[in-house]
Amino acid sequence: MWPWASMSDLRKAYTSTGSTVSKTYDKAVATQKSAYNQIPSAVTKAGVETQKWSAENKETLLSVTKGMQDVGDKTTVVGGIAAAAGAPLLG
């Protein structure tokens, strides 16, 4: 049978455990606060980079949006023709 631990050993283990938990908690809180405090600057940086990229790629973006507009216009025309053609069939 194993010998029982002395009260002194139990107190040391309890104190050590409490200290470890407290340090771990404090470190976790500090890490969370640090991450939280970095969010505004990261969002600002992302916004600046997005504006910079958009300015540098303005012509490409405009040509893509023009193509999307053309596809949308053609889809609308085809839909209108299909609706007009299908209306007599429905009675």
CA distance 16 to 8: 12
Tokens of 68: 């999307």
Transcribe 52-79 into DSSP letters: HHHHHTHHHHHHHHHHHHHHHHHHHHHH
Is 60 exceeded by the pLDDT of residue 91?
A: no
Q: What is the mean pLDDT of residues 3-18?
A: 90
pTM: 0.47
Q: What is the pLDDT of residue 89?
A: 65
Residues 15-54 have pLDDT tens digits of 999 999 999 999 999 999 999 999 999 999 999 999 999 9
Region 61-83: what's the mean pLDDT? 91
Q: What was the pLDDT predicted at 85?
A: 77
Whether residue 78 has pLDDT greater than 70: yes
- Which residues are within 8 A (CB) of 13 and not within 5 positions of it... i.e. 6 or more apart? 5
Running DSSP on this structure, what letter comes out for residue 5?
P
